[in-house]
Amino acid sequence: MKSLSLSYQKSCLVGTAQLAALGDSLAVEIASVRQALGDGYQTQYAFINLLADKSMRVSVKKVVAQVNNPTVTALVVVGIGGSSLGAKALHEALYGVVSNELDIVPKIYFAETVDPDVIARIVAIIEQERAHGGRVLLNLISKSGKTTETIANFEVLLEVFAQTLGPEKLQKSIVVTTDDGSELWSIAEQEQFMCLAIPKHVGGRFSVFSAVGLFPLALCGVDIDALCTGASDMLMRCLQTELFDNPAALRAAILYEHYTCGINIHDTFVFSVDLESVGKWYRQLMGESVGKALNRRGKEVHVGITPTVSVGSTDLHSVGQLYLGGPYDKMTTFVRVEQFESSMVIPTISAYDALVQNIQGRSLASIMEAIFDGVQRAYVNAKRPFVSLHLPEKSPYCVGQLLQMYMLEIVYLAYLLDVDPFDQPQVELYKKETREILSHG
């Protein structure tokens, strides 16, 4: 099977001895994660056991079979943050950012924030699908069941469904993914909606390989077994004690070493438009997991690395000047796809050779490759630190590897920073203030 690879030796600007020392420090945390493997969902590392939960995947496939008869033509995922970013990232990576404009069934839409214009357009899409004889499914995803944006959007869309569907069809058009035993779970059962459980110790940003991500992906035809196999194979690599055999620990060490030297921005620079949402998923993963006011002992520290996302080659023409000429405060991860699906070739039109030479008759992929290599040379010459991830192809197996590596990387980075990667107390601050404002509405 094709494996994700990492290159860093000549570009990360961190010495082998420094990395090895951090590897010694990480050995304790790697051992803790290894020990949690096979412990089910009882520990804070519960997410690593999702891949071995075959009964969960059976439940997901069973619900897919139940709801997809007759065929669903459009799926609306109602969730925010960890409840939607993972599925969105994987769907775009595997089907492309413009898949909804193609003849692919079902089309998928994400109702995330409470932007009234966006939600109104989704309502219009639902009505249009039905007018053309289509069938729309709602997948409500909320771990707690009490996220303001998610429940507000769901109520709006539920009303649209209830106005045109009878009780039996309505029940077959709603799937609720939440904590088993939550208040939302109880309401869903009362309404006789289909339910899928999120294990209690699996946090939203670590839940992509649970029903949160697997149900919408499976409904859209993704091979979730191949996805989980890729993730499982990467998990084994990321549990290796030897740092240089463990891509997640190695990346964590590189990021940490640069952070201690004042480099507190990490840019994920993807050279595939379809991977931009993977970068945004990682942005939440890093931001919520390592940006903390307190360390593990309750001391006020205010640590964190700011994650950004760039798309090659588009953003070379927007922020490339800043990255190569601005302050030395950024560490970059380039993500390269080795094999694109299309082999599209530039036609040979001699009149245009005077404008840009040496591109006639070449494939677009080869142009992208030349740009990627050129950017890396420019970064080396400017002494800008970076590592490169080489994704063999945009397949479920390979993209599954990428997301699994990222999750373990963040766990190891949090250990080095001495913070808890699984909580997000400051996220609750805006929620508290919002509820207070709404109470006086």
All structural domains of the chain with their residue ranges? 5-35+239-417, 46-225
Gap between the Cα atoms of 136 and 142, Å rounded: 20
The model's confidence at residue 432, banded by pLDDT at 50, 70 and 90, is confident
**Amino acid identity for residue 12 in this structure:** C
Count of Cβ atoms closer than 10 Å to residue 39 Cβ? 12
Residue pointed to by tokens 């053309």: 132
Question: 132, 302, 317, 440: which is the annotated catalytic residue?
Answer: 317
Gap between the Cα atoms of 231 and 405, Å rounded: 8
Tokens of 428: 């609750």
Preceding omega of 70 cis (within 30 degrees of 0): yes
Taken in order 208, 174, 159, 105, is the CA torsion positive or negative?
positive
Question: 92, 288, 292, 409: which is the annotated catalytic residue?
Answer: 288
| Eight-state DSSP code of residue 288 | H
99-103, 126-130, 181-185, 410-414: least confidently modelled range: 99-103
Predicted confidence at residue 167, as pLDDT, reads: 87
Which of 115, 191, 124 is closest to 153 using CA atoms?
115
pLDDT, one tens digit per residue, over 33-60 is 999 999 999 999 999 999 999 999 999 9
* Residue 141 reports pLDDT greater than 80: yes
* Residue 328 reports pLDDT greater than 90: yes
pLDDT, one tens digit per residue, over 67-82 is 998 899 999 999 999 9
Q: Please compute the mean of the pLDDT values over residues 157-173 and round it to a whole number.
A: 92
Instruction: Give me the CATH topology for the region 5-35+239-417.
Output: Rossmann fold (3.40.50)
Q: Report the percent of the chain where pLDDT is more than 90.
A: 93
Gap between the Cα atoms of 32 and 36, Å rounded: 6
Question: 62, 428, 431, 433: which is the annotated catalytic residue?
Answer: 431
Q: Report the percent of the chain where pLDDT is more than 70.
A: 100
Same fold yes or no, 5-35+239-417 and 46-225: yes
Q: CB of 329 within 8 A of CB of 264?
A: yes
Tokens of 132: 């053309």
- Cross-sheet strand order for the sheet of 194-198: 107-111, 74-78, 136-141, 174-179, 194-198
Predicted confidence at residue 440, as pLDDT, reads: 87
Count of Cβ atoms closer than 10 Å to residue 122 Cβ? 21
User: For residue 435, what are the contacts with CB-CB under 8 A and spacing of at least 6?
Assistant: 148
Q: Please compute the mean of the pLDDT values over residues 175-203 and round it to a whole number.
A: 96
428 versus 237: which is more confidently predicted? Answer: 237
Gap between the Cα atoms of 272 and 263, Å rounded: 25
Cα distances from 287 to residues 70, 161, 282, 304, 363, in angstroms, run: 41, 36, 8, 7, 37
The model's confidence at residue 164, banded by pLDDT at 50, 70 and 90, is confident
Active site residue 431: yes
Gap between the Cα atoms of 399 and 1, Å rounded: 13
Cα distances from 173 to residues 11, 36, 193, 213, in angstroms, run: 51, 37, 8, 18
Active site residue 317: yes
Predicted confidence at residue 431, as pLDDT, reads: 85
Pairing mode, if any, of strands 74-78 and 107-111? parallel
Active site residue 132: no
Pairing mode, if any, of strands 5-7 and 386-393? antiparallel
Gap between the Cα atoms of 245 and 249, Å rounded: 9
Predicted confidence at residue 428, as pLDDT, reads: 83
* Correct CATH for 46-225 of 3.40.50.10490, 3.90.1200.10, 3.30.230.70, 3.40.50.410: 3.40.50.10490
Give, for 435, the enclosing helix (H) or strand (E). Answer: helix 427-439
Predicted confidence at residue 422, as pLDDT, reads: 97
Please spell the DSSP secondary structure of 341-365, one letter per residue.
S---B----GGGGGTSTT-TT-BHH
